[in-house]
A and B are shown apart, each in its own frame.
Chain A
Amino acid sequence: MTAPLTYTAFRLLVCAIAVVVVGTVLFGLGGLGPCADLHGIVVTMVRYLLTWTVTS
């Protein structure tokens, strides 16, 4: 049983929207509203890893 192409189209649409949502939450809205903390956490983690890697 093969799903119609419209199913694939809808799923692709869902994936695209989900990627946009996740990307926006993590990186797109940095410094704005409730996403600021999450953005800060990610940036801090990345900076810490870079610093630790360079200094150790």
Chain B
Amino acid sequence: MDDLLPVVLAGLAIAALVGGFLFVSLWLLVHVMPPFLVVAAVLGALGGLVLVTAATIRLFGSSAALVGPAEYQRVRVVRRTAKPGRYDPDIAWVPYPLRQGVADVAALRDDVTRLCTRFAGPPIRYFFAGDFASWRWWLLFWPIPLVALTPFVVLGVVSAALFCVVAGVTLAVSAVGAAVLVAVAVVLRGAEAGWRRLIRAEASCPHPDCYLVTDRPAYRCPGCGALHRDIRPGRLGLVTRRCACGALMPTMVLRAAWRLEAVCQRCGRPLRKGSAALRDLRLPIFGDTSAGKTRLLYASLHRLVTAAEAAHIPVAYPDPDSEEAAQRAFALVRAGGDTVQTQTGYLPLALSCTFGTGAGATLLHLYDAAGEQFGDADLHDSLAFLHRAHGLVYVLDPFSVRAVRNRVGAPEADVAARAHAATGDPEVAYNQVVSRLRDSGIKAKSQRLAVVVSKVDLLGQWGIELPGESEEVAGWLESVGLHNLVGAARREFAEVRWFAVASVDRDDAGGHDPVRPLAWLAEKSGLRVPVDRPDASTVGSGS
């Protein structure tokens, strides 16, 4: 019994100690520590609030988290399927909801994590991995780490909760913004595409060795000159887009056409003002050398412009080159001088002019290549303006037809010299162009053709009068031995009309008015200019 007494006493002492320890601990926990814990928790919560607020504010000034134009372009290049002829995506700032929102959430997460680790890391290491990491120390002095660590635990929890709120709001705003952006972009694109299809607007390059026709041109940034190849509303902006240089540019071709410099998607040279926002009308003139193509172009355009101005239709030139060329041509036509033969070494720059104003205006392009170039096999791909033309004007020199020269009665050499007669066979010149169209995969059957017998005024000097009506002109051509040409033209084109013109500036030209072929083709493509001309029946195999 005596042996058990110390053990019992020791047990009682230990129980008393444990009990006392538990009592003291419980007393501390209930009566002393609550205010400290509450203060610690409040400090931790405030710390978390300040930390997340600071991290959020840092986003405003930080450029590290920015998804810049170059980075977004790299992402797009990687995701985009490579196709022949496809250009790199444009370089511009992406709207916030599409990329920057997610980037902000990631940056905020990293920043909050870093700050939490920075503030809470040292005390946690101090009590869990430092000198006070033993269980004995914790057993005796647990209130100290409890109070000391509470603010950091609360800081972490509050920071995480606030981060979740900010991240959730950011992602929600981004999702809503992206959905609105996509929906509005689809509507704007559809509206623009529909309108442009309605007015048949295209962007045609007027420059030699290119002549590319596209749905929309590229636009040069007014700030840095960078090319923006797809200006439609979309992932780079809905109403405006911001270039990498910071310059603001309008989206939509219909708006950009009047505010930005439009350039060719392929050659990068400037297009005419209003390209792709106006009805685009391309009319090439072809024929043998010295057939009178340039003369006809000048005289017909002069008459068309005169008629338009008389009808109060505004006429303008979208570029200085066209205006200079037109003024030079009009002066020559008015003076009755001879046109200079078109240079054979150069492909033609389109002569462009705008008829009308606003959405109903038409941008007319006229192409005049030297006769030799139509027969040059090396230039097969260079005369691309023939391929996407809305109509063709074939100029036939009557003095190149032997039967006509015989009817004149004068020595052939004199006739040829006085009329500057074309030397080639008219059928050859015609077949060269039609073969070129066929070889290029162009369906001539979808185009209209105006066959123009030129130099009617000279024929009149030798007493040969040509009729003014279309069918009668065709009959006259057959009468001089051009049955094959007449038959082939009727067979190969959608619609053909025959004209006999005198390319002179005379009010009494009547049925031989040089404007008639141009006016007919223009009217068929939607450009109506009231010109006085006799009715001529349509001769067509396919219309």
Write the residues of chain A forming the contact surface with B, with a CB cutoff of 8 angstroms.
1-4, 6-8, 10-11, 13-15, 17-18, 21-22, 45, 48-49, 52, 56
Contact = CB atoms under 8 A, between A and B. Distances in A.
A52 to B, nearest CB: 5
A10 B162 contact: no
B66 A21 contact: no
A45 B242 CA distance: 50
Contact of A17 (B42, B56, B169): B169
B93 A45 contact: no
A34 B512 CA distance: 91
A18 B166 contact: yes
B416 interface: no
Contact of A11 (B39, B104, B177): B104
B93 A22 contact: no
A10 B173 contact: yes
Given A8-B60, A52-B38, 16 more contacts: A3-B100, A7-B66, A10-B97, A10-B100, A11-B56, A11-B104, A14-B104, A14-B169, A14-B170, A14-B173, A15-B166, A17-B169, A18-B166, A21-B169, A45-B41, A49-B38
Contacts of B39: 49
**Chain B contact surface mostly:** helix
Given A14-B169, A14-B173, A22-B165, A6 B96 contact: yes
A21 B68 CA distance: 30
Contacts of A22: 162, 165
A4 B93 contact: yes
A52 B33 CA distance: 11
B30 to A, nearest CB: 13
B59 to A, nearest CB: 6
A4 B93 CA distance: 8
Sorted from nearest, which 10 A-B pairs have the closest CB atoms? Answer: A10-B96, A52-B35, A17-B169, A18-B169, A18-B166, A14-B170, A7-B96, A4-B242, A1-B63, A14-B169
Contacts of B42: 45, 49
B101 A1 contact: no
Interface in B65-97: 66, 68, 93, 95-97
Interface in B32-46: 34-35, 38-39, 41-42
Contact of B66 (A1, A10, A17): A1
- Name the residue among A7, A45, A49, A56 with the largest chain B CB count within 10 angstroms: A7
A52 B39 CA distance: 11
B246 interface: yes
18 contacts: A1-B63, A1-B66, A2-B63, A3-B63, A7-B96, A7-B100, A10-B96, A10-B100, A10-B101, A14-B169, A17-B173, A18-B165, A18-B166, A45-B38, A45-B41, A49-B35, A49-B42, A52-B34
Given A18-B166, A48-B34, A52-B35, A10 B68 contact: no
Contacts of A17: 169, 173
Interface residues of B, number: 28
Q: Name, among B68, B95, B96, the residue most crowded by chain A CB atoms within 10 Å (CB to CB).
A: B96
Contacts of B93: 4
Contacts of A2: 63, 246
Contact of A14 (B38, B66, B166): B166
Contacts of A6: 95-96
Nearest to B69: A1
Nearest to A45: B38
A11 B95 contact: no
With most chain A CB atoms within 10 A of its CB, the pick from B38, B169, B242 is B169
A2 B38 CA distance: 43
A2 B247 CA distance: 12
Contacts of B35: 48-49, 52, 56
Contacts of B162: 18, 22
A1 B242 CA distance: 13
Contact of B68 (A1, A13, A15): A1
A34 B94 CA distance: 39
A10 B63 CA distance: 16
A17 B177 CA distance: 14
B411 to A, nearest CB: 79
Contacts of B165: 18, 21-22
Interface in B9-47: 34-35, 38-39, 41-42
Interface centre among B34, B162, B166 (most CB of A within 10 A): B166
A3 B61 CA distance: 9
Interface string B352-372: 000000000000000000000
B169 A11 contact: no
A22 B165 CA distance: 8
A6 to B, nearest CB: 6
Given A4-B242, A49-B39, A52-B35, A10 B169 contact: no
B53 to A, nearest CB: 9
A11 B174 CA distance: 10
A13 B104 CA distance: 13
A47 B38 CA distance: 11
Interface string B96-140: 110011001000000000000000000000000000000000000
B275 to A, nearest CB: 29
A10 B104 CA distance: 11
A56 to B, nearest CB: 8
A28 B279 CA distance: 60
A21 B170 CA distance: 12
Nearest to B41: A45
Contacts of A10: 96-97, 100-101, 173, 177
